[in-house]
Amino acid sequence: MLDPFGRTITYLRVSVTDRCDFRCTYCMAEDMTFLPKAELLTLEELDRLCSAFVAKGVRKLRLTGGEPLVRRNVMGLVRSLGRHLQTGALDELTLTTNGSQLAKFAGELKDAGIKRINVSLDTLDPARFRDITRWGRIEQVRDGIDAALDAGLKVKINAVALRGTNEDEIEDLMLWAHGRGMDFTLIETMPMGEVDADRTDQYLPLSLVRTRLAQRFTLEESDYRTGGPARYVRVAETGGRLGFITPLTHNFCESCNRVRLTCTGTLYMCLGQDDAADLRAPLRASSDDTLLSTAIDEAIARKPKGHDFVIDRRRKAPAVARHMSVTGG
Ligand code: SAM
Ligand code: SF4
User: Model-level pTM?
Assistant: 0.94
Tens digits of residue pLDDT in 148-176? 999 999 999 999 999 999 999 999 999 99
Look at residue 318 and tell me whether its pLDDT is greater than 80: no
Nearest residue to 116 via CA among 175, 185, 182, 18 = 182
Look up the CATH number of the domain holding residue 306.
3.20.20.70
Q: How far is Cα 329 from Cα 307, in angstroms, rounded to an integer? A: 14
Report the 10 Å Cβ neighbour count for 65: 28
Average pLDDT, whole number, for the chain?
92
State the SS3 of 149-175.
HHCCCEEEEEEECECCCCHHHHHHHHH
Ligand 1 atom closest to 195 (CA):
23
Q: Please report whether residue 228 resides in a domain.
A: no
Tens digits of residue pLDDT in 181-223? 999 999 998 877 778 877 778 889 999 999 999 999 999 999 8
Q: How far is Cα 60 from Cα 10, in angstroms, rounded to an integer? A: 6
Ligand 2 atom closest to 100 (CA):
7
Report the 10 Å Cβ neighbour count for 316: 10
Q: Please report whether residue 305 resides in a domain.
A: yes
Starting from the CA of residue 102, give the closest ligand.
1
Look at residue 75 and tell me whether its pLDDT is greater than 90: yes
Task: Check: CB of residue 276 under 8 Å from CB of residue 296.
Answer: no
Rounded to the nearest 5°, which phi and psi values hold at 93? -120, 125
Task: From residue 306, give the alpha-carbon distance in Å to each of 95, 171, 232, 270.
Answer: 24, 31, 22, 7
Look at residue 66 and tell me whether its pLDDT is greater than 90: yes
Instruction: Give 129 Cα–ligand 1 centroid separation in angstroms.
Output: 14
Structure confidence at residue 98 as a pLDDT band (50, 70, 90)? very high
Task: Check: CB of residue 93 under 8 Å from CB of residue 82.
Answer: yes
Q: Please report whether residue 138 resides in a domain.
A: yes
Look at residue 314 and tell me whether its pLDDT is greater than 60: no
Look at residue 26 and tell me whether its pLDDT is greater than 60: yes
Give me the percent of the chain exceeding a pLDDT of 90: 78
Q: Which of 64-68, 168-172, 174-178, 248-252 has the lowest mean pLDDT?
A: 248-252
Buried b (16+ CB within 10 A) or exposed e, 83-113: bbbeeeebebbbbbbbbbbbbebbbebbebb
Structure confidence at residue 20 as a pLDDT band (50, 70, 90)? very high
Q: Please report whether residue 80 resides in a domain.
A: yes
Mutation choice for ligand 1 from 187, 268, 311, CB with most ligand atoms inside 8 A: 187
Ligand 2 and 18: CB distance under 6 A: no
Mutation choice for ligand 1 from 17, 67, 96, CB with most ligand atoms inside 8 A: 96
Q: Please report whether residue 3 resides in a domain.
A: no
Number of domains in the chain: 1
Q: DSSP state, 314?
A: T
Rounded to the nearest 5°, which phi and psi values hold at 228? -110, -175
Instruction: Give 329 Cα–ligand 2 centroid separation in angstroms.
Output: 9
Q: Please report whether residue 203 resides in a domain.
A: no
Residue 249 confidence (pLDDT): 66
Ligand 1 and 266: CB distance under 6 A: no
Q: Please report whether residue 40 resides in a domain.
A: yes
Ligand 1 and 271: CB distance under 6 A: no
Rounded to the nearest 5°, which phi and psi values hold at 124? -105, 0
Tens digits of residue pLDDT in 252-282? 788 889 999 999 999 999 888 888 999 999 9
Q: Which residue range forms the structural domain that includes residue 35?
A: 11-158+253-327
Q: Please report whether residue 244 resides in a domain.
A: no
